[in-house]
Amino acid sequence: MFPRPATEVAANSLAFETTPLVKATGFREYDARWWFGAPGSSKPPELNALGVQALGLGLGTLLHKMGVKPKIVVGHDYRSYSLSIKQALILGLLEAGCEVIDIGLALSPTAYFAQFALDAPAVAMVTASHNENGWTGVKMGAARPLTFGPDEMSQLKDIVLGGKFEPRAGGSLSHVADMRERYLADVTSKIKLSRPIRVVAACGNGTAGAFAPEALRRVGAEVIEVDCDLDWRFPNYNANPEDAEMLHAMADAVRKHGAELALGFDGDGDRCGVVDDEGEEIFADKVGLMLARDLSGHIPNATFVVDVKSTGLYAVDPVLQANGAKVDYWKTGHSYIKRRTTELKAVAGFEKSGHFFFRDPIGYGYDDGLVAGIAILSMIDRNPGKKVSDLRRALPVSFTSMTMSPHCDDEKKYGIVNQVVAEYEKLAKDGGRIAGRAIRDVNTVNGARVTLEDGSWVLVRASSNKPELVVVVESMNSEDDMRALFREEVKPRLGRHAEVGAYNQEI
């Protein structure tokens, strides 16, 4: 019987080579994510190869318990250790009696697509997405196009950490060598541009560099590649189109090459960021609003799902209202928005982090940065004579912060958020005011999104995949007011909690 994993094992020791290591906090709300280790880092690893094997055995055990046919697609992103982690995962899946289909190097949406193309109910994609080098993880699902949520992750955690494995005979392994081509052919089959839109494709030297430029060219775009060579050192910046460093590099490239826009893709290709023709960085929630305006114009009574980090403009946008569109604000997280978009049969779902979820006729319902990028190019193509900056300026005005992430240990972050939620609920109940304004609503579906009487709002929630809190503020009045909401309201409120540490960036 496979040994029960330990949650702490010293690196560079006999135990590390003989005992499965799986830190409990790696089982997050909808992904599994651990610190695996990086050269020169003193941070102790949270996972070892035997721990990955235990994860595979636990996942296979769970699939059988769920009554799901144990046929599973596996792929890996471009990091120096991802292939070996995938191989350890496969060993565990085989021991659990699974039929494993290895599609090789892949984007997360390539693995999701392979579920449909290969008629496989389950998926396990080895990726740490946009996390820094040294992180690894697995995105899992057992009901396409959905991925695991808290219930499935809780069951998996219980099986793995409890050593409740059920090995079975009958495991098999096959390889599909042409999934990249099959995926690219599919995502480029529905749209052909009427003119060669000049676009920068920025990939941060991550996996998307092997996919995105080719996909954009196939639909007829003129592509300028920026950091598209695969390099697992990520020498220029982290492949995260929500981070300022990558967005600034995209803006510089637009100005240098006279491009109409830049599209930036994260490490596993399921997110897309946008910079317009003037080098202006457009947050993904407002890109989503532009897309929703465009799509609702020719899809009657369209429903859109957006996450709680997204702009409040969706709720008051006159174009969406005139087109009869409905908007549902839901929990942040690709698994949550995917599920909600499917439940409501929405045309699309949008997350401020850059996840875009398109259902038929555009996509399959999962988040795909390439499909999103092509949809954005199609929107431009359908609006002749208008630049991306024109579409941006046509939106109502609001002033939204970057996503800020103060450190907070995984073991403590949910307790802190619960305290902050209670504080805001009491403040609202007692008729308290923020920056001289009454509180109109406290949405607690995912942390606390506190909306003021003028539509401005602040958000505090726990990160689902890192030891951090998530802070976003939006003002309907001015950039100064947006900064004041952070500096005079959110930051001092969180500062009263000693467990909250330094911010990744501030406004």
What's the pLDDT tens digit per position in 434-469?
999 999 999 999 999 999 999 999 999 999 878 999
**What's the pLDDT tens digit per position in 9-19?**
999 999 999 99
**Shared-domain flag, residues 442 and 425:** yes
Which pLDDT band holds residue 504 (cuts at 50, 70, 90)? confident
Domain boundary among 393, 410, 425: 393
> Considering the domain boundaries, does residue 507 fall inside one?
no
DSSP letters, 314-368, are GGT-HHHHHTT-EEEEE-SSHHHHHHHHHHTT-SEEE-TTSBEEE-TTT--SSB-
Query: Alpha carbon of 46 to those of 3, 11, 469: distances in Å?
Result: 17, 9, 20
**Shared-domain flag, residues 142 and 73:** yes
Domain count, the chain: 3
**Shared-domain flag, residues 201 and 134:** no
> Considering the domain boundaries, does residue 2 fall inside one?
no
**What's the pLDDT tens digit per position in 30-77?**
989 999 998 888 899 999 999 999 999 999 999 999 999 999 999 999
For residue 225, give the H/E element and its range: strand 222-226
Domain boundary among 366, 393, 420: 393
**Shared-domain flag, residues 204 and 300:** yes
Domain boundary among 155, 177, 199: 177
Q: pTM value?
A: 0.91
**What's the pLDDT tens digit per position in 179-202?**
999 999 999 999 999 999 999 999
pLDDT for the residue 507? 83
How far apart are alpha carbons 206 and 78 in whole angstroms?
A: 6
How far apart are alpha carbons 480 and 475 in whole angstroms?
A: 9
**Shared-domain flag, residues 324 and 472:** no
> Considering the domain boundaries, does residue 503 fall inside one?
no
pLDDT at position 337 over 80: yes
Q: How far is CA 379 from the centre of its chain?
A: 22
> Considering the domain boundaries, does residue 369 fall inside one?
yes
How far apart are alpha carbons 282 and 198 in whole angstroms?
A: 18
> Considering the domain boundaries, does residue 4 fall inside one?
no
**Shared-domain flag, residues 163 and 195:** no
Q: Look at the chain and count its residues.
A: 507
> Considering the domain boundaries, does residue 5 fall inside one?
no
**Shared-domain flag, residues 454 and 368:** no
Which conformational region is residue 388 in: left (phi greater than 0), alpha (psi within -120 to 50 degrees), or beta? alpha
Report the 10 Å Cβ neighbour count for 441.
12
Q: Hey, is 88 helix, strand or coil?
A: helix
What integer is the mean pLDDT of 468-477? 96
Which CATH number characterizes residue 123's domain?
3.40.120.10
Task: Name the residue among 327, 330, 212 with its Cα closest to residue 267.
Answer: 212
For residue 484, give the H/E element and its range: helix 479-484
> Considering the domain boundaries, does residue 20 fall inside one?
yes
Enclosing domain of residue 30: 14-177
**Shared-domain flag, residues 409 and 445:** yes
**Residue 84, Cβ density class (10 Å: 0-12 exposed, 13-18 middle, ≥19 buried):** middle
Which pLDDT band holds residue 403 (cuts at 50, 70, 90)? confident
> Which range is least confidently modeled, 38-42, 62-66, 281-285, 419-423?
38-42
pLDDT for the residue 243? 87
Average pLDDT, the chain: 95
**Shared-domain flag, residues 383 and 411:** no
How far apart are alpha carbons 395 and 458 in whole angstroms?
A: 21
State phi, psi for 344 to the nearest 5 degrees.
Answer: -85, 0
**Shared-domain flag, residues 224 and 313:** yes
> Considering the domain boundaries, does residue 501 fall inside one?
no
Which CATH number characterizes residue 447's domain?
3.30.310.50
**Shared-domain flag, residues 388 and 406:** no
**Shared-domain flag, residues 41 and 140:** yes
pLDDT for the residue 505? 80
